[in-house]
Amino acid sequence: MKTGKANVLLWVITYLLPLAPAAWLIFAILNDHATANPVQYLERRSGDYALALLLITLACTPLRHLTGRSYFTAMRRSFGLFTFFYALAHFLSFIGLDYGWKFTSIQQAFAGKIFLWLGLIALTILLLLAITSFGFSRRKIGKLWQWIHTLTYLVGLIILAHFFLSIKGNAGTLTGTYFYPIFTFVLLLLLLILRLPAFLSLVEQLRGKINKLLRK
C-alpha cells in the first residue's frame, strides 16, 4: 500500500532527482569547480549524464516486470525525457558554447568526424522519442509507438559508438580508457536480454519470489 509519504518520494525520484546533475553542473561552473576548461567540462558531463539516464530509463521496464510496480512506467517516461534533456544540453554546449554558433566552425568540426555524426543521429532519434512520449501520441499511433520506442536500444548502441570513438587512444587495440564504454555496453546488452521473450517467463517466476521478499 502506498502511503502519502511514499508517493512524495516517488514523485521526487521521478521528476526532481534527474535534475540533480544539472544543478551540480550549474553550481560547479559558478564556483570554479569545472576545471580550467569549463566548456569542455560541461560538454563531457552532460554527455555522461545523458548516457547514464538512458541506461536507467532502459532499466525501468525490466524492474517493472520483476517487481510488478506500475510506477516504473511513469519513471521510464520521465527519465527518457531527461535523457533527451541532457543530450540536448550536450549538443547545445558543443555548437553554442564551444563553437559559438558559428556555422563554418561547426561544419569544420563535423567534417569527417563519424563520432559527431553518430551523436547527431542519436539526438535526432531521441527527439522523435521525446515528441512521441506523451499520452496523446501514444494513443494516436498505437502499435507504431511500441516499435518507435524500441529504438531506445538503438540509441544506446549509437551513443556507445559515439563515446567509444571519442576516446583518446586507439579503439582498435583498446589502448586508452575504454573501460567505461565497454562496461556500459555490457550493461546495455544485459538490459536488452532482460526484454527477450525467453527471459520474460523466467522473470514471471522470479517475480513471485521478489514480491514475497519485498513484502517482508
Partner 1 sequence: MKLTDTEKVTPEALFLSRRKFLKLAGILGVSAALAACGIQPQTETSTATGVPITGVLENTPFPGDTLTPYELVTNYNNFYEFSLNKEDVAQKAANFKTSPWQFTVSGLVNNPISLDVSELIKKYVIEERVYRMRCVEGWSMVIPWLGFPLQKLLAEAGVRSDAKYVKFTTPYDHDQFPNDGAYGFAWPYTEGLRLDEAQHDLTLLAIGLYGKALPPQDGAPIRLVVPWKYGFKSVKSINGIELVSEQPQTFWSSASPTEYGFFANVNPAVPHPRWAQDTERRIGELERRPTELFNGYSEVAFLYEGMDLVKNF
Q: How far is CA 200 from the centre of its chain?
A: 23
72 binds partner 1 (CB under 8 A): no
Cα 67 from Cα 69, distance rounded (Å): 5
Q: Which alpha helices (DSSP H) does the chain contain, by range?
A: 4-11, 20-30, 38-67, 71-92, 103-110, 114-131, 135-141, 143-166, 179-193, 197-215
113 binds partner 1 (CB under 8 A): yes
Residue 122 has φ and ψ, to the nearest 5°, of -60, -40
Of 31, 60, 30, 26, the residue nearest 46 (C-alpha): 26
Considering the complex, state which of residue 59 and residue 122 has its C-beta at the smaller distance from partner 1: 122
The interface mask with partner 1, positions 6-35, x = CB under 8 A, is: -----------------------------x
Q: Judged by CB under 8 A, how many residues of this single chain contact partner 1?
A: 26
Binding part of the chain for partner 1, among 63-71, 96-104, 117-125, 205-213 by CB under 8 A, reads 96-104
97 binds partner 1 (CB under 8 A): yes
Residues that bind partner 1 (CB under 8 A): 35-37, 39-40, 97-100, 105, 108-109, 111-113, 115, 165-166, 168-170, 173-177
